[in-house]
Amino acid sequence: MSERVKYLLDEESIPKHWYNIEADLKINTPPPLDVSTGKPCEVAKLERIFAKGVVEQELSRERYIPIPEPVREIMRQWRPSPLFRARRLEKRLDTPARIYFKYEGVSPSGSHKTNSAVAQAFENKRAGIEKVATETGAGQWGSALAQACQIFGLESRIYMVKCSYEQKPYRKAIMELFGGTVIPSPSTMTKAGLAVLQKDPYCRGSLGIAISEAIEDVLKYDKTRYCLGSVLNHVLLHQTVIGQEAMKQMDMAGDYPDIVIGACGGGSNFAGIAFPFLGEKLRGGKDVDILGVEPAACPSLTAGKYAYDFGDTAGLTPAMKMYTLGSSFIPAAVHAGGLRYHGMAPQISNIMAQGLMRARTVQQLDVFKSAVEFARAEGIIPAPESAHAIAATIDEALECKKNGVSKAILFNLSGHGHVDMAAYMEYFCGNLSNYDYPKEEIAMALSCLPVCRENGNAE
């Protein structure tokens, strides 16, 4: 009998609710603060930046939030996504570990980002918004949002981090194909961009700078709202369709993960796969080891400080309590553009601080080595971001081999790398390098955290 490698669900199994981890946490995630008052940010202020429905989701403590039927209907195009057993990778590694991966590269944008883009575009349309502005790193989020905006007839303006704009020209083309307007960031179109360029005319940008530019854009026009591709509670919430489906698929496989692994940029795909399993554990279910993986060049969870900081460089966002490297920190131009963010989702930071997960870093060359190993075994070319999860999975599987134990490892393959082939070419030419954790720069960025006396930042 041949062994199964693919676990598929029918469309009726697309989750009807998003899962909100807040309902199961003993210590709730600290709210965003308005730095001018030191108090939790007022709803009216949040609603000037985000669509109303999105703000409701952001602040909710309900365990299950219904997915609007039109959003579910659109998700039928690529959901439920497949779950695979990586039998050929297991063989290549000669490991007793059972390796499973959930594959989000089947969405129109080629990554998990579409799960949230559609939900956000829907809420903006419902609120009567006409135009949205956003940031994008590698361009995955920008392409997902531009496409979702097409479905609902919204305009999109996308500030794309300059180094990615140069590294990934096809992503720009995809966003424009879907009707988006793409602006390399830092740009001369906003005060935030100009301020950065004045200091460093050759600045290659960061997600923090691009977010400042997008928010400034939003505050200029009525009927315009901001969309964020990661970090915030509602984005993590939208991604929980991944883990809910994976639970059913692991059940079909007659297995349960001992370890769940995801790459962490702002934390949304990691939360998406991990939170439903973590919730089960918090409600008294099976134990599970949850592992977040970040680049050595941008190690917020492993080397950052757990403190209130801005989500952007100019300080236009509310302050969020998170593991941060400082909002002025500009990470090295690694090819995993989606992981170049100075902070980490407040919910993930909260569960990290409570010891409910662990985190580690990987170096760029190990990431690409693992990506190639995986692609040669399984035939799927991973996005450099996703390959961080693969590198950690391979390490865990080899650890199993060393110790002679068979664990079930589940990782999220957050997207494909078809638009990242230039990075692979550079890897094969030997042009890529590792980046060590830039201690001094981070110390400098951390010395400028906002002061929020009421909430413990003024130690």
Interface residues toward ligand PLP, by CB under 6 A: 111, 113, 140-141, 230, 263-270, 338-339, 383, 385-386, 414-415
DSSP states of 402-424: HHT---EEEEEE-BB-TT-HHHH
- Judged by CB, which is closer to ligand PLP: 363, or 386? 386
- Judged by CB, which is closer to ligand PLP: 115, or 187? 115
Contact 324, 294 (CB under 8 A): no
Tell me how far apart the alpha carbons of residues 441 and 332 are, in angstroms, rounded to a whole number.
11
CA distances from residue 122 to 117, 181, 245, 247 in whole angstroms, order as listed: 8, 19, 22, 27
- Judged by CB, which is closer to ligand PLP: 35, or 420? 420
Question: Shortest distance, CB of residue 453 to ligand PLP, whole angstroms?
Answer: 31
- Judged by CB, which is closer to ligand PLP: 107, or 224? 107
Sign of the torsion formed by the C-alpha atoms of 103, 105, 108 and 109: positive
Question: Shortest distance, CB of residue 269 to ligand PLP, whole angstroms?
Answer: 3
In sequence order, which residues have a C-beta less than 8 Å from that of residue 227 and are 6 or more positions away? 50, 117, 120, 121, 124, 132, 133, 134, 145
- Judged by CB, which is closer to ligand PLP: 279, or 417? 417
Question: Shortest distance, CB of residue 411 to ligand PLP, whole angstroms?
Answer: 12
Question: Shortest distance, CB of residue 111 to ligand PLP, whole angstroms?
Answer: 4
CA distances from residue 230 to 120, 344, 375 in whole angstroms, order as listed: 12, 9, 26
Question: Shortest distance, CB of residue 161 to ligand PLP, whole angstroms?
Answer: 12
Map tokens 């609710």 to a residue.
17
User: For 295, phi and psi rounded to 5 degrees?
Assistant: -75, 145
- Judged by CB, which is closer to ligand PLP: 265, or 331? 265
User: For 46, phi and psi rounded to 5 degrees?
Assistant: -65, -35
- The DSSP letter of residue 266 is S
- The DSSP letter of residue 324 is E
Tell me how far apart the alpha carbons of residues 111 and 103 are, in angstroms, rounded to a whole number.
9
- Judged by CB, which is closer to ligand PLP: 143, or 187? 143
Half-sphere exposure of 298 (CA within 13 A, CB side): 30
- Judged by CB, which is closer to ligand PLP: 160, or 400? 160
Three-state SS at 114: helix
Phi-psi category of residue 94: left, alpha or beta, with phi > 0 → left and psi -120 to 50 → alpha: left
Contact 162, 340 (CB under 8 A): no
Task: Count how many residues are written for the chain.
Answer: 459
Question: Shortest distance, CB of residue 323 to ligand PLP, whole angstroms?
Answer: 13
The radius of gyration computed from the CA coordinates of the chain, to the nearest angstrom, equals: 20
Contact 104, 414 (CB under 8 A): yes
Question: Shortest distance, CB of residue 105 to ligand PLP, whole angstroms?
Answer: 8
Three-state SS at 252: helix
Q: Where in 281-372 does DSSP place strands (E)?
A: 289-295, 305-310, 319-324, 358-362
Contact 205, 163 (CB under 8 A): yes
Question: Shortest distance, CB of residue 58 to ligand PLP, whole angstroms?
Answer: 15
Tell me how far apart the alpha carbons of residues 49 and 68 are, in angstroms, rounded to a whole number.
22
- Judged by CB, which is closer to ligand PLP: 269, or 350? 269
Question: Shortest distance, CB of residue 406 to ligand PLP, whole angstroms?
Answer: 28
- Judged by CB, which is closer to ligand PLP: 97, or 231? 231
Question: Shortest distance, CB of residue 338 to ligand PLP, whole angstroms?
Answer: 3
Three-state SS at 353: helix
Question: Shortest distance, CB of residue 415 to ligand PLP, whole angstroms?
Answer: 3
Question: Shortest distance, CB of residue 354 to ligand PLP, whole angstroms?
Answer: 19
- Judged by CB, which is closer to ligand PLP: 30, or 266? 266
Sign of the torsion formed by the C-alpha atoms of 157, 300, 272 and 5: positive
- Judged by CB, which is closer to ligand PLP: 309, or 385? 385
